[in-house]
Amino acid sequence: MNTPNVVTWFEIPAADLARAVSFYETVFAVTLVQEPCPSGMKMAVFPAEGDAVKGCLIQHESCKPSADGTTVYLNGGDDLSAPLARAEQAGATIVVPKTLIAPEIGYFAQFIDSEGNRVGLYSMH
């Protein structure tokens, strides 16, 4: 891939990696894989197949959770209502409820995760 503006990797900061892993595993009904990292970083990788954009939760003194920075939108599956409901049950604050962008584009929502990050969800339904 040689397109300069295409997302290739993302990192969501965590103050408490175990808490963040539990939160995201609950929201997406998946298992994250904790990987060893250099320089004292702790990392848990989201599952992804093939050419899908991959990313992780990361805990390190130089990575601070924030609701004010870049917003990452994660795939909400067939209907983002399910992961959005699980996020709320896991303690997230819903800041933008499921909202139609346009019928041909789909829906989005945003929440504040267990660490204080603003995270988005996207789905066609």
Q: What is the pLDDT along the chain (125 residues), one digit of tens a residue?
A: 567 778 889 999 999 999 999 999 999 999 999 988 877 899 999 999 998 999 999 999 999 999 998 999 999 999 999 999 999 999 999 999 999 999 999 999 999 999 999 999 999 98
**H or E element at residue 69:** none
**Distance, CA of 21 to CA of 30 (rounded, Å):** 10
- What is the torsional sign of CA 66, 23, 26, 57? positive
Block residue for tokens 């808490």: 19
47's CB contacts (< 8 A; 6+ apart) are 30, 31, 32, 33
Predicted TM-score (pTM) of this structure: 0.91
